[in-house]
Amino acid sequence: MRIRVGAGIWLLVGALICIIILVLALFLIVFPQRNKTNEVEADIKDTETSIQLEQNRLSQMKQFDKDPEQFTRQIDVLQERIPENVELADIIQQIDHAAEEAGLDFFSIVPSLPVSAQGFYVVTSEATFYGRYFNLVEFFNHIERLPRSVKIMTLDIEAAEGGLPYLLIRITFKTYFTTTQGIEGLMQSTGG
């Protein structure tokens, strides 16, 4: 007994074999080549990044050749904005002056003990002010222009006892310094 196979079946088997060959070609030839292409593109991107970094260094060196004193001036500015010792009285005076210039009433300041953070020392303080919204905006403008680096961390605003437009403002800020000079006085005054 012989089974007769029609032309349609042979056509179907041929199509199935073609599909299998295409799938094998995809897995054995196309996909590995695509992975190699992705790796080469990643290498090209890394190389372009490296070239850009080197070009930036070259431009910095050219600027240094034009004006070798610029880095000294930048270091001097940083040393002024982040001094060696805590100078807490100076911080309070600068904050009070900024508040006075902005039209805010400076009520209180509560500094914390300095902590070490990434090669610097940080004093976190909470200050309380009384004034209007636009005085607060002006105060932030004055804070940005202080000779000392001050970073505002939190801002809490609520209506003052007299009601709006007057506000009770609590600001938590950080100031930075580079050595432990002057910390002894803070430790003694807090009983530490």
| Residues 177-188 pLDDT 10s | 887 665 655 555
Torsion of CA 78, 82, 83, 85, to 10 degrees: -160
Largest CA distance in the chain: 111
> What parts of the chain have a pLDDT lower than 50?
190-192
pLDDT number for residue 192: 45
Tokens representing residue 71 in the block? 């880095």
Q: For the chain, where are the alpha helices, taking DSSP H only? A: 7-25, 31-66, 70-81, 88-102, 133-144, 183-189
pLDDT of amino acid 48: 93
Contacts (Cβ under 8 Å, ≥6 apart) of 41: none
Count of CB atoms situated within 10 Å of the CB of 60: 11
Alpha-carbon distance of 42 to 35, in angstroms, equals 11
Q: What is the mean pLDDT of the chain?
A: 84
User: What pLDDT, on a 0 to 100 scale, did the predictor assign at position 71?
Assistant: 77
130-145 confidence digits (pLDDT tens): 999 999 999 999 999 9
Torsional class of 182: left (φ above 0), alpha (ψ -120 to 50), beta (otherwise): left
Tracing tokens 């002006």 back to the chain, one arrives at: 138
CA distance 20 to 12: 12
Quick one: which of 107, 127, 106, 105 has its CA closest to 174? Answer: 127
Pair 165, 145: CB distance under 8 Å? no
